């Protein structure tokens, strides 16, 4: 357990509505990541953050934005949700000390109707 | 960017037998290779990892081997048990200019038959 919580754990929304997912960590790690998981695609990086207000794009960033106003929270926003964004979203943190090891949260299942 | 291929996509073994999952990567600069186990409805859990300065690493029934020349690495599970049934993911990292990004394989669903 890396002290990561995600909220909500499940969400059903309609096409065109904005959605924000929250990742919260309790251990003050600098690096945080958002992934999506889809059958046949494994885990794909959406965005990551390397500090407060420091973020960068991953492999599948189109249609997503992120914000990190404090160390413990990393928010993922779908400005106008589409059915192709139906997925399971995972947040991860990287512990310090130069290691690459990432630890994952429990996930958020998002369904866009 | 990095590309990670994982095989097989599904694997069924009898309890007590061994299971082997193989991954190849494309970026020769990658230097860190973790393996994750994901049970239904949960997030991926790190089970073992290896760095490029090591050829093999073991942890009880689990071992990982790395061949840098061929750019492939493998997960070996011996004496499989029903609780080993899960989806396993390999990943590679190391060349992302400090971003510590992981690129994942597409996963292997392991079923251990009692």
Of A45, A100, A104, which has the smallest distance from its Cβ to B43's Cβ? A104
Question: pLDDT tens for residues A28-54?
Answer: 899 999 999 998 888 999 999 999 999
Provide the percentage of residues in chain A whose pLDDT is more than 90: 83
Judged by a CB distance cut-off of 8 A, whether residue B95 touches chain A is no
Question: pLDDT tens for residues A92-111?
Answer: 999 866 677 899 999 999 99
Identify residues of A whose CB sits under 8 angstroms from chain B CBs: 31, 33, 40-45, 48, 50, 56, 58-59, 90, 94, 100-107
Q: How many CA atoms lie within 13 A of A90 on its CB side?
A: 21
Would you give the DSSP letter of residue B18?
A: -
> Cα(B66)–Cα(B74) distance, rounded to whole angstroms?
7
The pLDDT of A4-25, averaged and rounded, is: 97
Q: Per-residue pLDDT for B97 more than 60?
A: no
Residue B101 binned pLDDT confidence (cut-offs 50, 70, 90): confident
Question: pLDDT tens for residues B26-73?
Answer: 999 898 999 999 999 999 999 999 988 889 999 999 999 999 999 999
Looking at beta carbons, which residues of chain B come within 8 Å of A103?
A: 46
């Amino acid at each position: 357990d890396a002290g990561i919580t995600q909220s909500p754990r499940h969400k059903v929304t309609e096409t065109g509505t904005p959605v924000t997912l929250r990742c919260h960590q309790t251990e003050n790690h600098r690096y945080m990541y958002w992934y999506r998981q889809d059958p046949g695609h494994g885990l794909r990086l959406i965005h990551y953050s390397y500090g407060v207000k420091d973020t960068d794009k991953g492999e599948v960033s189109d249609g997503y934005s992120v914000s990190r106003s404090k160390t413990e929270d990393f928010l993922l926003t779908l400005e106008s949700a589409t059915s192709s964004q139906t997925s399971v979203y995972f947040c991860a943190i990287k512990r310090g000390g130069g290691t690459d090891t990432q630890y994952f949260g429990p996930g958020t299942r998002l369904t866009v109707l | 960017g990095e590309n990670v291929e994982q095989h097989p996509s599904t694997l069924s073994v009898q309890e007590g037998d061994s299971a082997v999952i193989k991954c190849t990567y494309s970026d020769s600069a990658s230097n860190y290779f973790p393996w994750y186990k994901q049970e239904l409805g949960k997030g991926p859990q790190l089970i073992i990892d290896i760095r490029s300065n090591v050829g093999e690493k073991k942890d009880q029934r689990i071992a990982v081997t790395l061949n840098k020349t061929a750019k492939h690495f493998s997960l070996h599970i011996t004496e499989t048990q029903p609780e080993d049934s899960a989806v396993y993911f390999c990943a590679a990292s190391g060349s992302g200019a400090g971003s510590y990004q992981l690129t994942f394989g597409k996963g292997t669903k392991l079923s251990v038959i009692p």
